[in-house]
Chains A and B, each alone.
Chain A
Amino acid sequence: MSEAVLLVEGLRTEFSTGDGPPAVAVQDLSFHVNRGETLCIVGESGCGKSLTALSVLRLLPRPYGRIGAGRVLLDGRNLVDLPEPEIRAIRGRAVSMIFQEPMTSLNPVLNIGRQIAETVMVHEGLPWPACMDRALEMLRLVRIPEPERRLHEYPHQLSGGMRQRVMIAMALACRPRVLLADEPTTALDVTIQAQILDLIRDLQRETGTAVVLITHDLGVVAEMADRVLVMYAGSKVEEGTAEEIFDTPSHPYTRGLMGAMPHLGGGHGTRLNEIPGVVPALTARPSGCAFAPRCSLATDKCRSEAPGLNNIGGSHLIACWEVNGGLPT
């Protein structure tokens, strides 16, 4: 095992709510990602997966959001208490991020060549022509056809898949150590999704960038992940290698998600596995295990006391009182 490029320890992200105690969006979360590795963070909306990525780059909405506790170590350096100018030097250079909807992350009044070149100029201070050369090189790298012409086009002239390629080009222009990808293919059609996933995988192989891929889609996880972290209501409920998670999904929530998702070849007419109820609101987290109100295995203990993480073999961790080391049937 190579050593971790990004190491997050005991992260707690909270939002002030006015009078009451702060709402905790991410609770005691620890994970790491190694060079050249893809870690997938999976969960439904409201589980805190996007806020985790925003916390790493300290992009939480101000003034309400803040990191309440924990450390974010990039090559051993803690990002949590860096002064603002230093964290700005890291964003887009050592750690960059791509979002679900590229149209809202691109500047509509600048051509894409300039947007990519600006990133290079800000971070590497190269002369402008050299920055534009890098922009062209990046467009080639992400396989945009006719890159010389596209350099001078504006975001609205590009298709959704093309825009996401531009985002990736911009994110990788300074050869980051870590790429945070937040639902990068969710807004795309399935054939375009396949193109983008292949592209991320190929570029990662060439550059050795560590990728943290945030998604709600277990299919994307199965395609991309080396390791998987399952989140529910702000906490890690299960973690393991992709094989461990897909061979023996163990937390009742992970198993519920797998059963709820119709997949090709899954047959017709059978009932899908339902997880009753909905994800609890940020301000109404149940005491004890947050999943207990929706869990068929829940006991009184689950409802009163939050379970810690247990190793159930290999690198497979779960947080559950009822399941230990495999599948009760």
Chain B
Amino acid sequence: MNTQSSILDVEDLVKHYSVGGGFFGYGRQQLKAVDRISFHIGERETLGLVGESGCGKSTVGKAVLRLVEPTAGRVALQGEEITGLDAASLLQRRKRMQVIFQDPYSSLNPRMTAGDIVQEPLINFGIGNRAEQQERVAALFARVGLRPDQRVNYPHEFSGGQRQRLGIARALALGPSLIIGDEPVSALDVSVQAQVINLMMELQQEFGLSYLFIAHDLGVVEHISHRVAVMYLGKIVEIAPREALFKAPRHPYTEALLAAVPVAHPRARRPRVVLKGDVPSPINPPPGCRFHTRCPIAVPRCRQEEPQMVIDAAGHGVACHLRVTPA
């Protein structure tokens, strides 16, 4: 499908959770968090994954890392399938894919020093001797903009932005080729957010990283991504190179999402079409196209038949009966 070498290939990924149910699980229902989604990420490429809360974007990240076990589908890292690998083999692949979470505080051990946190992956994988590990930690600290003397501090002694730098240093320790960022800048103040975004973009250039950047802020995603995928209720509804997606969106949901973003200047205020209602529950999602209950242009066919993703030669794909990709 893609000509350049692919770092991550995801095919028909599915993650269902069983929820509810009474005695012995009678009446359990399937929550379709991720329902047959496919995408790839090339070398040195950032794929932005956007959608509203509950659309399944974080589950995609976890399923790719196999932090949650996918229900079905295939995930390949640098051409090698990792779904189905046993724990020991998977562990080795983990060196090449790392994750950064939204809240760095809850993802850093409060009882370890910052230096130990960054050194731990090196110890776990037995990389280098103690002196070499220390040296590597010092280099990582310098690279992400932390002072060397901060190695002896504990996570609570750092500010939010510094903690995120620490999370990044830990993710870089093993020299990964793919980093999955799950809302990595959402909890930060604007001025600090800019520092972390700039750092992530520099590191991408320097170490040739690929990113799966999961976020809800469209401004941030446009800034950092090369391509963008839009999710709604467990499905990718549109995927396209950044410029095409933001300048010429095809799916009505993407249009609505972009229209809802606040303007950049008071003179740009305009009346807009605001999506009505809330996102339906992913338990028993609407039949047909999942967006039809809120779609301004839905026709009867949308209620019955699920649209398939069709991707054109330029890599712009949309799953909509009415906005078919031109041949």
* Interfacial residues, chain A to chain B (CB-CB below 8 A): 44-45, 145, 159-162, 189-195, 197-198, 216-220, 222-223, 225, 242-243, 246, 256-257, 259-269, 271-276, 278-279
| Contact between chains at B264 and A222 (CB < 8 Å) | yes
* Interfacial residues, chain B to chain A (CB-CB below 8 A): 52-53, 159, 161, 189-195, 197-198, 201, 216-220, 222-226, 242, 246, 256-269, 272, 274-275, 277-279
Known: A45-B189, A192-B52. 10 other contacts (CB 8 A): A44-B189, A160-B53, A219-B263, A223-B266, A260-B193, A263-B264, A268-B223, A274-B191, A274-B194, A279-B189
By beta carbon, the residue of chain A nearest B247 is A265
Residues of A within 8 A of B161 (CB): 278
Name the distance in Å between A64's Cβ and chain B's nearest Cβ: 21
User: How far is A218 from B260 in the complex, measured between Cα atoms in Å?
Assistant: 14
User: How far is A173 from B25 in the complex, measured between Cα atoms in Å?
Assistant: 45
User: How far is A224 from B7 in the complex, measured between Cα atoms in Å?
Assistant: 43
| Contact between chains at B223 and A162 (CB < 8 Å) | no
Name the distance in Å between A149's Cβ and chain B's nearest Cβ: 15
| Contact between chains at B258 and A264 (CB < 8 Å) | yes
For B223, give its contact among A145, A192, A216, A266 (CB under 8 Å): A266
| Contact between chains at A269 and B201 (CB < 8 Å) | yes
By beta carbon, the residue of chain B nearest A279 is B189
| Contact between chains at B262 and A223 (CB < 8 Å) | yes
| Contact between chains at A195 and B190 (CB < 8 Å) | no
Count how many pairs of residues, one from A and one from B, have CB atoms less than 8 Å apart in the complex.
129
For A268, give its contact among B222, B260, B265 (CB under 8 Å): B222
| Contact between chains at B192 and A278 (CB < 8 Å) | yes
User: How far is A160 from B277 in the complex, measured between Cα atoms in Å?
Assistant: 11
Name the distance in Å between B31's Cβ and chain A's nearest Cβ: 16
Residues of A within 8 A of B193 (CB): 260
Residues of B within 8 A of A279 (CB): 189
User: How far is A70 from B304 in the complex, measured between Cα atoms in Å?
Assistant: 64
| Contact between chains at B191 and A264 (CB < 8 Å) | no
| Contact between chains at A272 and B274 (CB < 8 Å) | no
Residues of A within 8 A of B277 (CB): 145
| Contact between chains at B218 and A261 (CB < 8 Å) | no
| Contact between chains at B260 and A194 (CB < 8 Å) | yes
By beta carbon, the residue of chain B nearest A276 is B195
User: How far is A225 from B266 in the complex, measured between Cα atoms in Å?
Assistant: 8
| Contact between chains at A191 and B216 (CB < 8 Å) | no
Instruction: Give 5 closest A-B pairs by Cβ, nearest first.
Output: A219-B262, A275-B191, A262-B223, A260-B194, A194-B260
By beta carbon, the residue of chain B nearest A196 is B274
